[in-house]
Structure 1
């Protein structure tokens, strides 16, 4: 299936089920908006094959799973809205590398861990992460709590081996 479809908006319907893997065959897709539906399941792995994608709006559905680091393959993406779903896990650091990304909304999911600080994450006016109570860190303007310092098992102890000079035959 080859398609020259560039704009697909299915927003504000009562569509349900999971998105088919075939969505990745829409190679020329620039805008993909399935927001405000009842979609569930994970983001299709084939979505990253839509290399012309600039606007991806999937907010207000019931998508779940982790946010794939493969989304960073969408190198010219400008807007990414995955808010108000059921995503879990950490924010993929690879999203920091998306140099054309101007709007990122991951709010109201169940994300956890440290918020990246470079790329789009360095500009609080371009991202929204509210409603993710297990996130920490990030730039101060985001106003998230600091991440806890995780102490290592052997913290505070140094293994030191001392050797007596009588065991060495130094050449001088």
Structure 2
């Protein structure tokens, strides 16, 4: 159905970036119809899906709040795609644990292990990082990502204008930041 709707545009549109929900059929239709466009999943739905999974795994509301606040789980979306699997998830996982510990909250190791197994299955295999990671997308381009980039910048210190991958925080290793 999505393909038919997009086909009806008769390729009159030539978007650089398409932001859509994490529905495989919709993403496939967008990639087929607009083969030169970068298809990226919606940031809101990415966080919502992960928050729901944390809740389903009975991770405490306090731990979920820590993970969902700025400079925690959201950092995984701006770490360069090629670094996400190797050490990006380990960095974010450690960051969440350290934030919980520094605030005197318990950290449920077993439940978080289950969450990161889910994250790998879902966000590395079913929806690989290039479908949800915005590192390297030029936020100076007129796209719907500007609002997301504005939020990302407000949560981190940035170096000039340009790709969000330039974002850095005191806790983010320079290896994850553009030079």
TM-score range, shorter chain: under 0.3
Bigger strand share = 1
Higher relative contact order (CA 8 A, sep 6+): 2
Q: Rg bigger for which structure?
A: 1
